[in-house]
Chains A and B, each alone.
Chain A
Amino acid sequence: MQSDVVLRVVSKFLIPFILLFAFYVQFHGDFSPGGGFQAGVILAAGIILYALVFGVAASFRIVPMRATQIGAAIGVMIYGGTGVVSLLRGARYLDYNALAHDPVHGQHLGIFMVELGVGIGVASTMLWLFYSFTSHKLRRDGQS
């Protein structure tokens, strides 16, 4: 895929900041607007921008299709697993009070894990959706 020089230089400059912003939104979501959903979407958008400018083949080398599928499953499992941990510690499912010695710390830990699960899950799924469409196009164009 050939794209404009300006586009390539600007996006090369921007993409690290987009990814960094995604992590900021993820881990600062307790104190400011943001959280797992937004961070996941921004992370996916950064990689999609890379794919659009440098070609899908280049982005497949960095984040393969397989990784997005595994990531989507891991995200859901982190979320569900947090609930199972609180079950094992004798509380109800997804009751974070039992995760640490002190309920407020338990809540902090629980929210952190859950938001992490949501972030990984959403980022991977959004990228997976984009990859599904683009790889379908690649396969179809390759056949005709």
Chain B
Amino acid sequence: MTGLFGYWTVIATLAIGLYIMIAHGNLVKKVIGLNVVQTAVILFYVSFGKVHGGTAPILDERFEIYSNPLPHVLMLTAIVVGVATTAVALALIVRIWESYGSIEEDDIVRAELVE
């Protein structure tokens, strides 16, 4: 049972992130939801790289078993790319706020309809 607990956490985090993204009209909140989903995916990858009795993947004569380095590499770059794309999203939100005076989704849709 405990072997699958990590997956359940990932699922719960992902579902919460998805809920934030769909339910909240505020664009900043949507970006936060997106970050939560991203973190859930990273958690998923990193947790299946773990090997029982293994250690961090840095070669040393005293150790035989290492955790799987491949998910670490993929997620390491994903985190840095994630912050860069978050910055793009925030810049878009700033421009939207300057054009519409609001970052609530329904206000923006209404302003578009009036025009």
Contacts and interface: CB of A to CB of B under 8 A. Distances in A.
* Interface residues of A, dominant DSSP: helix
Contacts, number: 19
A33 B91 contact: no
A31 B83 CA distance: 26
Given A32-B58, A37-B76, A132 B91 contact: yes
A18 interface: no
A32 B76 CA distance: 15
A129 interface: yes
Nearest to B56: A33
Nearest to B81: A37
Nearest to A128: B87
Interface string A95-139: 000000000000000000000000000100110010011001000
Interface residues of B, number: 11
A122 B94 CA distance: 23
Contact of B80 (A33, A122, A133, A136): A122
A37 B80 contact: yes
14 contacts: A31-B58, A32-B58, A37-B76, A37-B77, A41-B80, A126-B83, A129-B84, A129-B87, A132-B91, A133-B87, A133-B90, A133-B91, A133-B94, A136-B94
